[in-house]
A and B are shown apart, each in its own frame.
Chain A
Amino acid sequence: MTGPILQVEDLEVIYNTERTNVRALNSVSLEVSPGEVRGVVGESGCGKSTLAFAIMKYLDQNGEISGGRILFNGEDLRGKTRSEMEDIWGKHLGMIYQDPTASLNPSLPVGEQIAEVATAHEMATKQEAIEEAIDLLNRVHIRDPEEIIDRYPHELSGGMRQRVGIATGLMGKPELLIMDEPTTNLDVTTEARILDIVEELKDDLNSAFLYITHDLGVIARVGDAVEVMYAGEVVERSGIEELFEEPFHPYTKLLLRSLPDPEEEKGTLQDIPGSMVDLTDLPNGCKFNTRCPFRKEKCFKEVPPLEEKVGTHKARCYFAPIEGAEETVGEEKRGKTKSVWKEPPEMEKEGPILEVDDLKKYFGGGGSWFPGTEGSPVRAVDGVDLTLEKGETVGVVGESGCGKTTLARTIIGLTEATEGRIDFAGQDITTYVSRRSGETLKRIQIVFQDPRSTLNPKRTVGQAIARPLIMHGDFSRQEIPKKTADLLEEVGLDSQLAERFPDQLSGGQKQRVAAARAFATNPALVLHDEPTSSLDVSVQATILNLLRDLQEGSGTSYLFISHDLSVVRHISDYIAVMYLGHMVEFGSTKEIFTPPYHPYTEALLSAIPVPDPKLQRKRIRLSGSVPSAVDPPSGCVFHTRCPRKIGKICENEAPPERRTGGHEILCHIPEEELIDVEPVLKEE
């Protein structure tokens, strides 16, 4: 077949809210052809998901397609009734959702759900459909599909469920498959496998794909062409390599620069000034003019069209492609923040700030009234050693369930260690937070993950920051408003924000307030538990820069927890890699990213989505999913998934510590062999 399967022309979508109408999509046009993966990228609020649901004609009740056409196979979907769409859904037009848990019916075996697509459209008998479902599960690399089809969704892991979701999407052999952030909730190693599957399917099926994501690294892996969206408009369209080689639109340019580059070490990130425009209050002219560092007078007067700049590479900007000049952006505006604290916190003693020795944290287990029926505990953290020097940052990475968050919670004292010892500035603090001295509480702070719940919605920003000052600071009542204002300014916020409630702030602003709250007591150690993982990339960059600046100004030590190796690389001096409660590798940032690697680190590195379509790297994929921490594998905990397992010894004996300098690797593979591998990330 030739020609595009989907042509969207001047699509407009309006959401009717109680107060006003929000134009979520504004004259969006795009085409998708068979055998092509067309990416749609943008930050939250850009309209990318609205686009997907509009094409499916599955908008929320208050959403309305108010203009344009959606030509699918030459027919305009806009005029279709609900029952006509039911014939199209699944059979011709499939969709894969972000959350596989929500998109699968919890009370039906997965095989039946996949088969239902075919039987509902009377394309096959139930028997045939089940057989085809097994085929498809094979195709998405699910082992023993004959057995899996009888399982219920809750019996499968997240990655398996998403693969079932993909199989369901493929069942009707749709001409177009829309994928809405299908890997966003998954771990990187699982994500890498899903992306492999998408690539294979593209080659095998000649279907068309519309791939929606916020992650430029993901699109660099799977996309052929890409649409960049901002504030309900496509601002740039190009082939994948051209885009990453030379982005034309200022927004794309800045967005790419705000990503922490997994190939680069600690440094300052470029950020995008300002925040996403309010769709109910759009500026005149170009919608990016509120944040664009290259704006000129014309940008405020006229709306630029999406026009071809070089070949088919289009951008919605009068001045694109823009040469040079971008290095200065943001830098002079942000400047260096100075610490409100005149001097860095004086230490009681010389030596490390934090020493964790053979820390174990088990949950549950025991507790039964009947002997012999005690359950096994969940070994969330199972013997971790860690040393953190003054002013340094140790990053802790690992996939969900590796125990990194439990480690932080045990150090801060929200849960009590089962075994082992935590020393802070030479003092034993291995206990609940409520039993620690005021001085210790003051000196250890934490920044949490979720900006939506980190601040009490019923208290103003000023109250949130003032409270620790009142509790721990030595200030009189009169000094506190001033101090609060200083702290707000230190984290790059207007001191007027003190009067606001959290729901009047953006996610990035809330995380800044959380940082200000943590720094209010002049801490010696701040734990960061995924502080940027629910933020957009451009906001993430500003927060990471802020944390760096705060650290430079105060000499505070950080323990930085994240699932994202690129982020951790950016902020850390040392990195600890955790798997199933164990720290499998520890070393300086440089040592972690170059051989020798622990086999698990090697797989993680190979899985990171890198925003560079030309990057060549080793393909190491882990099979299966993380084993249960209730009954961890014997010997080396990684042996069940290890691609470099050397034999029985891995199953029977705990691995020795291979140590060169400060670099430690827990592995049975001899050191010479560990060193003797190619680096995972290297430029072509």
Chain B
Amino acid sequence: MAERSPDLAPSLWDRVKNGFSYLSRLRRKPLGFAGLIIIVFWILISILAPYITPYGPTDFSTDKFVGPSLQHPFGTDRWGRDVFTRVVVGSRTAFTLALSATLLGLAGGTALGLSAAYFGGWVEEVLGRTMDILMSFPALLIAMFVLGVLGPGTLNVILVIGLAHTPRIGRVARSATLQVKNQEFVEAARVRGESDLYIMGAEILPNILDTLGVEAAIRFAYSIFLSASLGFLGLGVQPPTADWGLMISESRSYLQVAPWLAIFPALAIASMVLGANFLAEGLEEVTGGEQR
């Protein structure tokens, strides 16, 4: 037997293997697999962006409002910038915003939901009611309010979307924890004299990761949507950054003459949101199927 120190949770390699086994099982779920392909497609696009774009995202030219053609597959905007390039580069903005916001929401929500469920009593009451209050306002409204105060900008958008996700992820984390916390292996840990932090982190957390993963995919889709909305409202990323929401916002006045300005970024948003949702669906089937 390999000499592996037995006190640690499964090694990183075990985790990776485990992750791949989920993905390979996704192949039998058509919807989830389609979602996976869409997301992988966008990941490749954003990594390869500098190599596949013929122009720079903020390169001006005199070819204004040119329709889709071989030189400009998605046409150009009123500054003569290449829309294809801006859509491709915009995927980087989208990933940066959505991934950071999702991770932030995941960290905050898991910490709050897990501890609320684990400690119960007044801790749960206070945290639970706070989350309820936060959730009783539409996320967009809170975002607009906070950005109105803090001012727009990439970092603030991430913070705001992460904040909007926190109570929702918190609720999922709480209900997942409630299902695990009274299981006998948790009581065994308490009887052994483990600290609360250890029990939450090492005994409970690994068992709710599946559920959190599904929720993260849903929140990711929602982040894309929310960041695009904020960009559209002018509260998000500022021009001239290539951002899908911003691009649609700028296209508003020219919809009649240059519809491609809105169509391509809109398609990009739709495909990424759908892809993430499909992936969430597939992950839920795959992980839920294992638990049963």
Contacts and interface: CB of A to CB of B under 8 A. Distances in A.
Contact of A456 (B8, B28, B203): B203
Interface string A404-438: 00000000111000000000000000000110101
Contact of A438 (B7, B193, B203): B193
Contacts of A463: 6-9
Contacts of A480: 5-7
B28 A18 contact: yes
A82 interface: no
Contacts of A441: 191-193
A376 B234 CA distance: 60
B123 to A, nearest CB: 16
B192 A499 contact: no
Nearest to A466: B6
Nearest to A517: B188
B17 interface: no
B139 to A, nearest CB: 32
Given A434-B190, A445-B191, A496-B1, A458 B7 contact: no
Interface string A649-671: 00000000000000000000000
Contacts of A446: 187-188, 191
A448 B9 CA distance: 22
B1 A453 contact: no
A444 B7 CA distance: 22
A445 B28 CA distance: 45
Contacts of A467: 7, 192
A446 B3 CA distance: 29
A454 B185 contact: yes
Task: Name which of B3, B5, B28 has the most chain A CB atoms within 10 A of its CB.
Answer: B5
Given A458-B206, A496-B1, A434 B10 contact: no
B183 interface: yes
Given A436-B193, A441-B191, A470 B207 contact: no
A499 B1 contact: yes
Given A414-B187, A496-B1, A462 B193 contact: no
Contacts of B5: 477, 480
A412 B3 contact: no
A519 B207 CA distance: 25
Contacts of A517: 188
Given A456-B207, A467-B7, A480-B7, A433 B184 contact: no
Contacts of A472: 192-193
Interface in B1-40: 1, 3, 5-10, 28
A459 to B, nearest CB: 7
A119 interface: no
A456 B193 contact: no
Interface string A245-257: 0000000000000
Contacts of B183: 453
Nearest to A459: B9
A307 to B, nearest CB: 41
A189 interface: no
Interface residues of B, number: 22
B178 to A, nearest CB: 14
Interface string A472-500: 10000100110010000000000010110
Contact of B6 (A448, A456, A460): A460
Contact of B191 (A413, A455, A458): A413
Contacts, number: 79
Contacts of B7: 463, 466-467, 470, 480
A414 B191 contact: yes
Contacts of A434: 190, 193
A536 interface: no
B6 A481 contact: yes
Nearest to A521: B192
A480 B185 CA distance: 21
Interface string B153-194: 000000000000000000000000000000111011011111
A450 interface: yes
Nearest to A18: B28
A530 B211 CA distance: 31
A389 to B, nearest CB: 23
A370 B185 CA distance: 39
A459 B185 CA distance: 11
B1 A456 contact: no
B188 A448 contact: yes
A462 B6 contact: yes
A446 B6 CA distance: 22
A471 B190 contact: no
A269 to B, nearest CB: 25
B6 A453 contact: no
Contacts of A456: 185, 203, 206-207
B74 to A, nearest CB: 43
A468 interface: yes
Task: Name which of B5, B8, B188, B190 has the most chain A CB atoms within 10 A of its CB.
Answer: B188
A453 B184 contact: yes
Contacts of B188: 446, 448, 454, 514, 517
B248 to A, nearest CB: 43
A477 B5 CA distance: 8
A433 B6 contact: no
B185 A453 contact: yes
A365 interface: no
Contact of B187 (A448, A468, A496, A498): A448
Contacts of A499: 1
B109 to A, nearest CB: 20
Interface string A614-645: 00000000000000000000000000000000
A514 B5 CA distance: 20
Task: Name which of A445, A454, A458, A459 has the most chain B CB atoms within 10 A of its CB.
Answer: A458
Interface in A364-415: 412-414
Contacts of A464: 185
A462 to B, nearest CB: 4
A305 interface: no
Given A456-B207, A499-B1, A412 B6 contact: no
A464 B10 CA distance: 12
Contacts of B184: 448-450, 453-454
A274 interface: no
Contacts of B206: 456, 458-459
Contacts of A351: none
A457 interface: yes
Contact of B207 (A458, A471, A498): A458
Contacts of A460: 6, 10
A454 B183 CA distance: 7
A466 B4 CA distance: 12
Given A433-B191, A453-B183, A459 B1 contact: no
Nearest to B8: A463
**A-B complex: 6 closest residue pairs judged by Cβ atoms:** A466-B6, A458-B206, A448-B184, A453-B183, A441-B193, A462-B6
Given A453-B184, A458-B206, A463-B7, 5 more contacts: A441-B192, A444-B191, A445-B191, A459-B9, A496-B1
11 contacts: A18-B28, A438-B193, A453-B183, A458-B9, A462-B6, A467-B7, A467-B192, A471-B192, A472-B193, A481-B6, A517-B188
